[in-house]
Chain A
Amino acid sequence: MVYETLSQGFLEQFEKTKDKIALFTDHGDVRYLDLLEIYRGFCHQVEDLPLPSGSRVALYAEKNAQTIALILALWHHGHPVMVVPTALGDKACDKVFEDAAIFAQLGLNTNGTIEILKEVRGKGFTKCTSSCALILTTSGSTGVPKGVMLPVRALTNFFNWARQQFSVTADTTVFSYAPLNFDLALLEIWTPLSVGARSVLADPVKGADGAYLRSLVSTYQPDLIEGVPLLYRLLAEADGSSAFKAPFVKNVIMTGEKFSKEQRHQLAHMFPEAIFRNVYGATETNNSLVFSCNAEELTDLEVMPVGMPLPNVKVLVEPTDEPEADDVARGELLVSTPFQATGYTDPVKTEDAFITRTVEGVASTFYKTGDLVNMKQNGLIYLEGRSDFIVKVRGVRTNIVDVEIALASHPDVEAAAVIPLPDTAAGTKLAAVVQVSPGAKLNSLSLRSFCADHIPRSAIPSFYKISSDPIARTSTGKPDRKSLAGFFLETGEATS
C-alpha cells in the first residue's frame, strides 16, 4: 500500500534522530522517541478497530503530537485521513464527510485511546480507489468547505522541494502558526518531521495573543517562520510596542494575502537578517509562485510581485482583460504543480476547477485559481486579486482588497472588510465594516477623507459600519463577507 511508504519514510527518519526534540509545545517538548512510542501504541489500536481495509477516516485537527502520530499510524494501515477544522459544526461535518466518502470519524479520549466518534459510512466509502493520502479542507467562505485530495506523490514532492528551497535540515527550527488542517502545516510541521528538524507548535486557540506568539518566537528562536499578515502584525504590535526584533530568523515566508507597504516595513524591522519570500499558492496546488528579496528590497518595492513559477510548475494566464503597456498577459491564473491535488472529494467541483490544457505539446491538469494576475515582460507575476474581489463601481474597475488595505492603514483602524453590494444605479456600491481601536473617534466622514487621500474617489465606500467589535471571520480567519453583507442588506443601510 502506497501510504505505508509515506509513513515508513517518516518513521525511518524518526529512528535516526530519536533522541532529538521533534516538537516544542505548550505542554512540553516532544522527542522523536516519544512520537515513535505514541505511534506504535496507535498502530496496535488501529489494527483492532473495525475499519474496512483502505477506508477513509476523519480526525479533528487537534494540533498535538497525538494527532500527528495517529495520522502516521492510519497511513501505516492504509487509511487515507481527512483532517477537519476543530471549529467545524456538526452539520457541516456531516456534509463534508458524506462527500468525502468517509467511513468513520475518529477521536482520542482522555486516556489517549482511539474512539470511533461517528460511523459515517459516507456514500461510496467501500469503493474508494483514489490514491489520496491526506484530505484537507478549503476555507468555507463560500459555504460548506471542500475536501481537497492530496496524493502521496504530491506530499513527497512538496517535502523534497521545501527542504531544499528553505534549507530545512536536522538543525532547523520551524515556527508553526497555522492549524493542522491548513496546507501551511505541510511546511510548518510535516516538512521538519521529514528531516529530523524541530517544529514550534503555536496553539491556534491562542492565535490572536501577540504576547504569547512573541514569547514563543523569543524562546525557541526559529530559523523559519511562515505567516499571513495577521501573524506578523500580532508579533510586531504585541504589548503596544514595536521594538520586537528577531535577527535569528533566516527565512520569512509571507503568504495568504497582499502585504501593504507598512506591513512590509514592519517585517523588515522585525527580521533584519532574513530572506523574505512572498509565496503564492492554494490548498489545491500548494506553493506555485515565489518572489524572494532581502529586508532592504522588501521596503523599497512599491508593489510586491508574487514572483515566478517554482521549478516544474507550469502557469497560464487566461486573458480576461486587455493587457496594459508592459504586461505580457492579464487575466486569470491557471497553475499546474508537482504538489497538486487530484481533485475535490466532490467530482462535480473537480470538473469545474481542474481542467486540461496542452502547453508545448504536453497535456497537463491545471487548477483554475480564480485569481487575477498581470504577467510582466520580465516574467514577474503580480497579483491583482480574487476575480470575485474585482468589481466595477460606476464602471470603474475596483479591487476591494485595495480598499481594505487603505482603510486598515488608518492609525485608529484595527481591521477593515469591504463588501460589494448590488446597486441598481451604480452597478455595485461598496460597504465597509471597520473595527476601530477602543476609544477612537472615527466616523464615516473622517474615513472618507482618509480614503480620498489614498484611493480613487470611485473606490471610497458608500456605507460604513464602524465599531470596536472584531470583524466576523470564517474559520480560516478571512472576513466573513456573506454575513457582513447581511448587516447592510438587513438594516436597510444600503438602500439610500
Chain B
Amino acid sequence: MTYSQAIRSFICDELTTDVSADEIPEDYDLLASGVLDSLALVRLIAWLGETFSLPINEMDLAPEDFLSVKAIDDFILKHEQKAVA
C-alpha cells in the first residue's frame, strides 16, 4: 500500500490550490519548484507525524526525503515499517 493519494491531497489542499490531487506527478520536484518552502516543509512534517504516527522529533530528516510525492511516500513506508518493527 502507498500513501501517495493522501500526500497529493495534502499538497493540493494546502499548497497548490489550483491543481487537483491527480494532477501532481509522482516525481514532481516539490523543492526546486518552491511548492515546499521552509514554512510549508514544517507544516508537511507536522502533518506526516500526526497522520502517520511517526516519531518526527526523534528522526534525522533530510530535505531529499521530501523531494517529491514518491520520496515522501518512501519516507513514510520506511519509517512506518520501523515503527511497526
A496–B13 CA distance with the chains assembled, in angstroms: 10
Given A426-B39, A444-B18, A444-B19, CB of A460 within 8 Å of CB of B28: no
Inter-chain contact B14/A496, CB cutoff 8 Å: yes
A496–B14 CA distance with the chains assembled, in angstroms: 7
Inter-chain contact A452/B33, CB cutoff 8 Å: yes
Asked if B35 is at the interface (CB within 8 A of a chain A CB), the reply is yes
Chain A residues within an 8 Å CB radius of B39: 425-426
Instruction: Across the interface, name the chain B residue whose C-beta is closest to A429.
Output: B37
| Residue from A425, A445, A452, A496 within 8 A of B19 (CB atoms) | A445
| Residue from A443, A457, A466, A496 within 8 A of B34 (CB atoms) | A457
Asked if B59 is at the interface (CB within 8 A of a chain A CB), the reply is no
Interfacial residues of chain B within 14-54, with CB under 8 A of chain A in the complex: 14-19, 23-25, 28-29, 32-35, 37-39
Given A394-B38, A449-B29, A452-B32, CB of A443 within 8 Å of CB of B18: yes
| Residue from A425, A426, A448 within 8 A of B33 (CB atoms) | A448
Given A394-B38, A426-B39, CB of A452 within 8 Å of CB of B29: yes
Chain A residues within an 8 Å CB radius of B16: 443-445
Instruction: Across the interface, name the chain A residue whose C-beta is closest to B43.
Output: A496
> Which of under 10, 10 to 19, 20 to 34, or 35 or more describes the interface residues of A?
10 to 19
A493–B14 CA distance with the chains assembled, in angstroms: 11
A466–B17 CA distance with the chains assembled, in angstroms: 12
Asked if A464 is at the interface (CB within 8 A of a chain B CB), the reply is yes
* Number of residues from B at the complex interface, CB < 8 A: 18
Asked if A462 is at the interface (CB within 8 A of a chain B CB), the reply is yes
Instruction: Across the interface, name the chain A residue whose C-beta is closest to B19.
Output: A443
Interfacial residues of chain A within 454-491, with CB under 8 A of chain B in the complex: 457-458, 460, 462, 464-466
Given A394-B38, A425-B39, A426-B39, CB of A457 within 8 Å of CB of B32: yes
Chain A residues within an 8 Å CB radius of B23: 443, 445
Inter-chain contact B33/A460, CB cutoff 8 Å: yes
A304–B39 CA distance with the chains assembled, in angstroms: 36
Inter-chain contact A445/B28, CB cutoff 8 Å: yes
Interfacial residues of chain B within 68-82, with CB under 8 A of chain A in the complex: none
Minimum CB–CB distance from A42 to chain B (whole Å) comes to: 56
Minimum CB–CB distance from A442 to chain B (whole Å) comes to: 10
Minimum CB–CB distance from B24 to chain A (whole Å) comes to: 7
Minimum CB–CB distance from A363 to chain B (whole Å) comes to: 49
A444–B16 CA distance with the chains assembled, in angstroms: 7
Inter-chain contact A462/B38, CB cutoff 8 Å: no
Chain B residues within an 8 Å CB radius of A496: 14-15, 17
Instruction: Across the interface, name the chain A residue whose C-beta is closest to B16.
Output: A444
A457–B31 CA distance with the chains assembled, in angstroms: 9
Chain A residues within an 8 Å CB radius of B38: 394
Chain A residues within an 8 Å CB radius of B18: 443-444, 464-466
Inter-chain contact A445/B33, CB cutoff 8 Å: yes
Minimum CB–CB distance from A493 to chain B (whole Å) comes to: 7
Chain A residues within an 8 Å CB radius of B19: 443-445
Contact with B along A279-308 (1 / 0, CB 8 A): 000000000000000000000000000000
A465–B18 CA distance with the chains assembled, in angstroms: 8
Chain B residues within an 8 Å CB radius of A394: 37-38
Chain A residues within an 8 Å CB radius of B17: 493, 496
Minimum CB–CB distance from A491 to chain B (whole Å) comes to: 10
A425–B25 CA distance with the chains assembled, in angstroms: 28
Interfacial residues of chain A within 125-184, with CB under 8 A of chain B in the complex: none
Inter-chain contact B34/A462, CB cutoff 8 Å: yes
Chain A residues within an 8 Å CB radius of B15: 496
Instruction: Across the interface, name the chain B residue whose C-beta is closest to A459.
Output: B34
Chain B residues within an 8 Å CB radius of A458: 34
Instruction: Across the interface, name the chain A residue whose C-beta is closest to B35.
Output: A448
Inter-chain contact B34/A448, CB cutoff 8 Å: yes
19 extra A-B contacts, CB within 8 A, seeds A445-B35, A449-B32, A496-B17? A426-B37, A426-B39, A444-B19, A445-B23, A445-B25, A445-B33, A448-B33, A448-B35, A449-B29, A449-B33, A452-B33, A452-B34, A457-B37, A460-B33, A460-B34, A462-B34, A464-B18, A496-B14, A496-B15
20 pairs, A vs B, C-beta closer than 8 Å: A394-B38, A425-B39, A443-B16, A443-B18, A443-B19, A443-B23, A445-B23, A445-B24, A449-B33, A451-B33, A452-B29, A452-B33, A457-B37, A460-B34, A462-B37, A464-B18, A465-B18, A466-B18, A493-B17, A496-B14
- The interface of chain B, by Cβ under 8 A from chain A, is 14-19, 23-25, 28-29, 32-35, 37-39
6 tightest A-B contacts by CB?
A: A460-B34, A448-B33, A452-B32, A443-B19, A444-B18, A452-B33
